Structure 1
Amino acid sequence: MKMKDIDDALALLLDKLEAWGRHLVLMLPNIFVALIILVLTFIIARFIRGWIDKLTARFSHSKALNNLISTILYIAMVMVGFFFALQMLNLDKVVVSLLAGVGIIGLALGFAFQDIAANFISGVIIAIQRPFGVGDMIETNDYFGTIERITLRTIDVRQVTGELVRLPNKMVFENPTTNFSINGVRRIDLDVGISYGEDLERVQRVVIDALQEVKNRVKTRDIEVMYHEFGDSSINFKARFWITYSRQVDYVSAKSDAIIRIKKTFDANDILIPFPIRTLDFGIKGGEKLNEQLQSLNLSIKNGQQLRGSDNS
């Protein structure tokens, strides 16, 4: 009985193999066509990818974005060719199952990696808009420095103190960002105070003359000296001028040079920069002299000491 069961199983297996063999022979033309479709798909996709790389390079200088676009189109064309090949093999149900699986997997990954996706999308938008580039001096999220690298996920900022900060694109995209390098120039506002006894118009002329040869100054723009307040011990003004700007050292050195020039000019023209004045209140009554108050205070101290001595005796 057992031998008969084994023989039946073997016979069934041989029939199955024979049927698969006949089906394979019948499918050989379709398999050959499917292979041709796949080969042509890869060749055409590679050719189109190279053409897209050249085309996008004309409109975008972001290598990461250009590579992303060409890679997405390349994968899309390969997938289309792959689905056509499966249809030639009468595997339509497999195609539907694959599409459904891809949709479910994509949805799950979207929820699991939503922060990464947000950074990625922000990086794509930044690459398209190009609000800044490598080498620009920016300030964002309380960080100030030079951009060293821009990817589709992060932006590397080298702070002026040397630290490297890697900022997610989402943070930069959603928060205010100041680009100091975009125009190539920057204005310096220098606060200065002078004595109340000075001739204000004369001071204006002296300061403007002193700042003519400041380092990196843009000479096509006028120097402005504007008074803006009466201070506690001085009349305060702002000296404003423009400089060429590519690095933070340009700004710092020009500001330092301006301070040196103004101080030397004030010394040469006997213009006083007053020290802050503070008035100390000793509780002096109106009409009484300070020395009288001090004498009264000393007398009170002596009387107090004498009373303590008599109590002790």
Structure 2
Amino acid sequence: MFEDFRSKLNEKVMTKLESWLDTLIEMLPAMVMALLVLIVFFGIGKLVRKAVHKILSKATMNKTVIDLLETIAGILVVGVGIFIALGVLNLDGAVTSLLAGAGIVGLALGFAFQDIASNFISGIILTLRHPFGIGDIIETKDIYGTVRKLNLRNTILQTPQGQIVYIPNKIVFENPLTNFTAEGQRRIDLACGVSYGDDLKKVRKLAVEAIEELDNYNSDRDILFFFEEFGGSSVNFKICFWVNFRTNPDFLDMRSEAIMALKQKFDENDIMIPFPIRTLDFGIRGGEKLDTMLAGPVNGDTNGSEG
């Protein structure tokens, strides 16, 4: 009995092996074709990666972004080759299952990591558009500082006080951004005031001369001078001029020099920058003198106390 069982088992195994061998022989041409497809697409993938690297190297110097996009392009090409190879092997059902699974996984990951994906895509766009570079001074979302690094998730700034700030790329991309160093120059708007007794034409002439005597202002651009208002104790004006700008001290030093030059010029020509003046009014209805208020009730006051 045992011999019969072993004989039948051997017969079934041999039959199965022969079936597999026949299937393998039948599929051998398709397998060779699928293998050739994979080899060809691996080669195409390498060529595509080199082409992407060459193109992106002209658009950006960010090696992280270049490597990432180069890798994605290569994977996409190889992925197409894999699906074609499965089709050659008549594994259409497997292809359909893989595509459906990839779609579901992609949808789930999209919901789970949408912020990361947004920052990632924003980082790529910022790198390609290049609205600022390393070392530029920018302001976005009320954060002002020097760009130290741009990666695929954050833009890293250093504030004038020395703090390091990590700003998600999505915020930088979606909000207004001011690049102070893009043009290589910046305007200083300096406000001041003079007394009502001064000659305003003389004031304007002296203020412009004070700025023109500075060493580092940009003489290629006009100095602008405007009287703005009649203030409480002064006639207020604003003088505007341009300076070459790459770092914060370029702006701060020139503004400080301009304040000192303006004060010195006015002092030398007897132009007064007045202190704020306050007029104090006494009494319930106003118009009372201070000594009268301090003296107390006047004679005949019915509310005074009797002796």
Per the normalisation by structure 1, the TM-score is 0.86
Alignment-derived partner of residue 231 in structure 2: 231
SS at match of 2:198: coil
Report the CA distance shift for 1:3/1:109 in structure 2 as closer, same or farther (over 3 A).
farther
Residues 156-198 of structure 1, C-alpha deviation per residue, up to 9 Å, x if partnerless? 1111111111111111222222211121111110011111111
In 2, distance between residues paired with 1:89 and 1:289? 108
Asked if the contact 2:135/2:148 (under 8 Å) is kept, the reply is yes
Asked if the contact 1:284/1:290 (under 8 Å) is kept, the reply is no
In 2, distance between residues paired with 1:240 and 1:261? 14
Greater shift in the superposed pair: 190-199 or 54-63: 54-63
Displacement after TM superposition at 1:287 (Å): 8.2
Q: 1:142-181 to 2 correspondence within 5 Å?
A: 142-181=142-181
SS at match of 1:165: strand
Displacement after TM superposition at 1:286 (Å): 7.8
Greater shift in the superposed pair: 182-191 or 55-64: 55-64
Pairwise CA RMSD:
2.8
Asked if the contact 1:284/1:293 (under 8 Å) is kept, the reply is no
Is residue 2:246 matched to residue 1:246? yes
Displacement after TM superposition at 1:218 (Å): 0.9
Residues 71-123 of structure 1, C-alpha deviation per residue, up to 9 Å, x if partnerless? 22211111122122223333222122111111111111111112222222322
Which blocks of at least 5 consecutive residues in structure 2 are unaligned?
A: none
Alignment-derived partner of residue 132 in structure 2: 132
> Percent identity of the aligned residues?
46
In 2, distance between residues paired with 1:183 and 1:238? 23
Report the CA distance shift for 1:213/1:6 in structure 2 as closer, same or farther (over 3 A).
farther
SS at match of 1:52: helix
Paired amino acid for 2:210: A
Residues 222-272 of structure 1, C-alpha deviation per residue, up to 9 Å, x if partnerless? 212211111111111101101111112211111011011111112222211
Residues 17-60 of structure 1, C-alpha deviation per residue, up to 9 Å, x if partnerless? 33223323443343333333322322221122112211232344
Aligned residues: 304
SS at match of 1:125: helix
Report the CA distance shift for 1:92/1:258 in structure 2 as closer, same or farther (over 3 A).
same
Asked if the contact 1:33/1:88 (under 8 Å) is kept, the reply is yes
In 1, distance between residues paired with 2:105 and 2:120? 18
Asked if the contact 1:185/1:245 (under 8 Å) is kept, the reply is yes
Which blocks of at least 5 consecutive residues in structure 1 are unaligned?
A: 308-313
Alignment-derived partner of residue 94 in structure 2: 94
Alignment-derived partner of residue 36 in structure 1: 36
Asked if the contact 1:215/1:253 (under 8 Å) is kept, the reply is no
Is residue 2:2 matched to residue 1:15? no
Alignment-derived partner of residue 122 in structure 1: 122
Report the CA distance shift for 1:101/1:2 in structure 2 as closer, same or farther (over 3 A).
farther
Asked if the contact 1:216/1:250 (under 8 Å) is kept, the reply is no
Asked if the contact 2:283/2:293 (under 8 Å) is kept, the reply is no
In 1, distance between residues paired with 2:293 and 2:121? 77
Alignment-derived partner of residue 311 in structure 1: none
In 2, distance between residues paired with 1:4 and 1:214? 113
Paired amino acid for 2:219: K
SS at match of 1:15: helix
Alignment-derived partner of residue 276 in structure 2: 276
Paired amino acid for 2:154: T
